[in-house]
Amino acid sequence: MGGLAVGIDIGGTRVKLGWVEQSGRLLTRSEIATPVTATPAAVARAIAAAAGQLSAGDPPGGSPALPDRIGIGCAGLIDRRAGVVRTSPNLPTWREVPLAELVGRELGRPVHLLNDATAFVLAEAQLGAGRGSSPVVGLTLGTGVGGGIAAEGNIMGGARGFAGEIGHMSIAHDGPPCPCGNRGCLELYVGRRGIVAEYLRRAPWEPGTSAYERAGGDRRALSPRLLAAAAQDGETAAREAFAASGRMLGVGLANLANLLDPQLFVIGGGIAQAGDLILEPARRTLRERAMASGGEAVPVRPAALGVDAGLIGAGLHALSSGAAEVSS
Amino acid sequence: MGGLAVGIDIGGTRVKLGWVEQSGRLLTRSEIATPVTATPAAVARAIAAAAGQLSAGDPPGGSPALPDRIGIGCAGLIDRRAGVVRTSPNLPTWREVPLAELVGRELGRPVHLLNDATAFVLAEAQLGAGRGSSPVVGLTLGTGVGGGIAAEGNIMGGARGFAGEIGHMSIAHDGPPCPCGNRGCLELYVGRRGIVAEYLRRAPWEPGTSAYERAGGDRRALSPRLLAAAAQDGETAAREAFAASGRMLGVGLANLANLLDPQLFVIGGGIAQAGDLILEPARRTLRERAMASGGEAVPVRPAALGVDAGLIGAGLHALSSGAAEVSS
């Protein structure tokens, strides 16, 4: 079990990289800006160069010091088996990009690609808040809402590796249209835009209120983080916005409880940092709506591994995928 | 693999029993009326007696001719590990009934209890329409809507064996209340009452229309089967009722596709006999709403094993559970 992998997490603004031990410990770590407008080949080169430089002092790319196992987590629709990014909100011009092959060629090593929320759930299920529980259903609440299902520490990928799109479960069949093509998706209510919209629906939006002052009067500066601070300041509309989103989250969790009977829910992503502002209303709705509860509602826990969970999960995925098949 | 089990399927009106081979073949089969108002102990005695009599000519109960493995499928909330019926729509006065133990004591053999829709999915995934596919998501459309998820032919039970309550996935967070405590559950739109309600919302309900004549003018006689016949007669409101329910089914299937990425959906239960009246609108909505479709929507197939799928699945469950632990 003493393997070592490079874990890479491609986010909307930063690419995080690190050497990951099987235990989840990060040995070394770095970040580069996400080259959002670069071509796939240029992105692959930038990632490979950064990965090579992680082993400070050794020659980059193909260095014997670089671990054999490389895992990349990326938001979007990821064909895990083929190592292809079908589409990604973080790299909006990409279509069907064989990222695993592109990076693998640069590094002379097989690269294992997976969805970033899947990587998060893998790490939290094996080493974080979900350790020892099975199945674990994990959600990441951010600009979008991602997720995954782990059983006995392994991700359920489904037939093609697309399973876990929890943010695109409709809880309002005739609700507002979602960019994904569906309507009333959970992400519309629980993601960043949903919380901001819930706030603006309730707020007077005038000088003297906490969120207004914190945003300098600029609505575009509103974010879940800013609204969480306003809620801590005691602004009612901000508290209510989180409560409304939390209730919608609870509707989604009740559906997942009825479908999957998880032993535990793990909630991560930036919005989860609002903590009980959003999680308490979610727990209450879960208890009210899920079957089989009888006082034994599924626990809802915040993620334990912090901002590096995706990075660690990408490394764990590479370690469990092995290095047998070389893609170059 | 040459085992033999007794499969038992407790339905709302009939209890079906049969000897089931590992191949799914039924060697012998019988039915008794469901003793809906009897005490749990009396129901257990009736079931055990009928099971014993399956081996015609041999002494019932404990006869060496009776297979060692006994499986029972029952609608409702079933604690599979404990062998307990928590609640069942078919046996409305039951609460926390240890049915496996009660029947097991009568027969002198361990009895394995599971949800009836779970049994259906197990049989269809191993031997029916889902054979060779994984994961398979199955739904039974009847008075209620049940379901299950099978991976590599095995049922995903979840932490406590309650997984698969597909009928109680909310697709309308502010929809009508469901007896389960949730709102806007799929079952409300796709089950028997939903289809009848969709019909009555559209129909003039007057002499000369097919459904009215077939029902003898009695609304209470309306059923999905009768409405399917009226639709075949060409009555528009009946066709539209199935189309409306089919679209809601498609909303549910799109959610399940996004969450679980199944290789195949299998649809059974009485309402599925309406065939493409309900399945075609469901397939269309699934294609429109599911992510990752790109022309490759998950196939939706009618069940292949007919009315005995639940019986066969209960037997298969007993065969795979083994006879090691004796419950008497």
Most B-contacting residue of A156, A291, A296 (CB-CB within 10 A), to test interface: A291
Find the mean pLDDT for residues A31-58: 85
Report the run of H or E that residue B220 belongs to, with start and end: none
CB contact under 8 A, B159 and A133: yes
Sign, CA torsion B229/B235/B238/B239: positive
Q: What's the full length of chain A, in residues?
A: 328
Q: Which residues of B touch A174 (CB under 8 A)?
A: 172
Cα–Cα distance for residue pair A124/B234, rounded to 1 Å: 55
Nearest-CA distance A80 → chain B (Å) = 13
Q: Which residues of A touch B158 (CB under 8 A)?
A: 135, 260-263
Higher pLDDT, A267 or B144: A267
Strand-pairing partners, residue A69, are: A5
Identify the pLDDT of residue B296.
74
Q: What angle do CA B60, B65, B71 make, to 5 degrees?
A: 80
Q: Tell me which residues of chain B, numbers 130 to 189, contact chain A at a CB-CB cutoff of 8 Å.
A: 133-135, 149, 151, 156-166, 168-174, 180-184
Global pTM reads 0.92
Burial of B140 from C-beta contacts in 10 A (0-12 / 13-18 / 19+): buried
Of B159, B163, B248, the CB nearest to A259: B163
Burial of B270 from C-beta contacts in 10 A (0-12 / 13-18 / 19+): middle
Which tokens is A277 given?
């502002």
Q: Whose structure tokens read 């298969």?
A: B316
Residue B94 φ then ψ, to 5°: -80, 140
Q: Tell me which residues of chain B, numbers 233 to 252, contact chain A at a CB-CB cutoff of 8 Å.
A: 248, 251
CB contact under 8 A, B263 and A173: no
Identify the pLDDT of residue A324.
45
Q: Tell me which residues of chain A, numbers 38 to 97, contact chain B at a CB-CB cutoff of 8 Å.
A: 77, 86
At residue B322 the predicted structure's pLDDT band, cuts being 50, 70 and 90, is: low
Of A259, A288, A291, the CB nearest to B77: A291
Q: Whose structure tokens read 């986010």?
A: A11
Identify the pLDDT of residue B171.
98
Of A171, A180, A248, the CB nearest to B291: A180
Identify the pLDDT of residue A184.
98
Q: Is the pLDDT of residue A213 over 90?
A: yes
CA-nearest residue to A87 within chain B is B292
Residue A33 CB partners (closer than 8 Å, separation 6+): A13, A14, A15
Q: Is the pLDDT of residue B267 over 80?
A: yes
Q: Which residues of A touch B248 (CB under 8 A)?
A: 173
Find the mean pLDDT for residues B6-13: 90
Q: Which residues of B touch A168 (CB under 8 A)?
A: 258, 291
At residue B57 the predicted structure's pLDDT band, cuts being 50, 70 and 90, is: very low
Q: Is the pLDDT of residue B244 over 70?
A: yes
Q: Is the pLDDT of residue B323 over 50?
A: no
Q: Whose structure tokens read 């919302």?
A: B201
Strand-pairing partners, residue A139, are: A147, A267
CB contact under 8 A, B172 and A168: no
Q: State ipTM.
A: 0.91
Of A169, A258, A294, the CB nearest to B165: A258
CB atoms within 10 A of CB B202: 16
Mean of per-residue pLDDT scores for chain B: 90
Q: Which of B325, B316, B324, B284 is nearest to B73 (CA)?
A: B316
Identify the pLDDT of residue B234.
96
Contact indicator for A243, A211 with CB cutoff of 8 Å: no
Contact indicator for A148, A114 with CB cutoff of 8 Å: no
B103-119 pLDDT per residue, tens: 999 999 999 999 999 99
E strands in A187-323: 264-268, 300-302
Cα–Cα distance for residue pair A144/A191, rounded to 1 Å: 5
Cα–Cα distance for residue pair B184/B192, rounded to 1 Å: 15
At residue A2 the predicted structure's pLDDT band, cuts being 50, 70 and 90, is: low
Residue A53 φ then ψ, to 5°: -70, -10
Q: Is the pLDDT of residue A168 over 60?
A: yes
Cα–Cα distance for residue pair A316/A311, rounded to 1 Å: 9
Q: Helices in A27-94 by DSSP H: which ranges?
A: 40-54
Cα–Cα distance for residue pair B61/B78, rounded to 1 Å: 25
Cα–Cα distance for residue pair A149/A136, rounded to 1 Å: 6
Among A28-32, A211-215, A321-325, B100-104, the least confident range: A321-325
Nearest-CA distance B63 → chain A (Å) = 37
Q: Which residues of B touch A166 (CB under 8 A)?
A: 258-259
Of B133, B163, B254, the CB nearest to A170: B254
